[in-house]
Structure formats: structure tokens, C-alpha cells
Homo-oligomer: A and B are copies of this chain.
């Protein structure tokens, strides 16, 4: 879609190709913010797991291998703040809290899916590339 190409200028050693068009829709700042929002250690995992349906705190914790209570709480709070999931407290003893993806969160998950698919499809290719790179 982009890549209108700059490579034709290679004959001139000093030519720095001008950027023909924007790489991303916006200019980096918003993207960084968005990546940070879900680029932390656990957000994507939590979103992926919640895709299967709502879960309560303990179930969520059990399904995210290795997460600490601290990080689980922080993660879901952030996601709730951004409107990606809802946190519902059922007044009972003992307390019960359920987390569920919002439509917004579900749509985000769908965009991730392409990425995860890519990672799955090309995992071998990547590891092979690493091996070649390391062997020199």
C-alpha cells in the first residue's frame, strides 16, 4: 500500500530518499501510547483469555500462568479504565468479581488475532533466521 519506493535513487550515493508517505495513519505519538497500553507483559494475554467469556478473579488468575496477584489487579484495572473490559462486583460473601470484555475490547482482540496468527505461522521461519544470524 505504501512503499511507493525510493530504491531507484540508489545510483546516487548521497541521496537520502524522502519519505513518500506516512508510515502509519498518525505520526508515532498516538501509536506509542496505544502500544504501551497493551504492550505490557500481561494485557494481551488477559484479553485473549477473556475472549472465551467472562471470568472471575481467581479463574482469570489460574488461566494466566505465572501472573502475580499484583500484576493481575493492575492489568485489569488498566484495561477497565480504557474501556476494554468491565468489572462487575456481586455483593456476596465471599465476594465475587467478574471480568468481561467489552465490544471495544473484543474488537481489539480481533486485530490481535491477525498478529498472533502471523506469529504462529512464521515461528519456525523466525527461529531459523535467528539460528543463521547467531551462527556467524
Q: Which residues of A contact B (CB under 8 A)?
A: 2-7, 13-14, 16-26, 28, 30-32, 34-35, 37, 39, 41, 44-45, 48-56, 58-59, 62-65, 80-83, 90, 92, 96, 98, 104, 106-108, 110-120, 122-123, 125-126, 128-130, 133-134
Minimum C-beta distance from A97 to chain B (A): 12
**Residues in chain B near residue A65, CB distance under 8 A:** 28
What is the oligomeric copy number?
A: 2
Q: A25-B116, A26-B120, A31-B44 are in contact. Are A92 and B13 (CB under 8 A)?
A: yes
Q: Which 7 A-B pairs have the closest CB atoms?
A: A19-B52, A83-B129, A34-B119, A23-B48, A6-B53, A3-B52, A39-B39
**Residues in chain B near residue A50, CB distance under 8 A:** 23
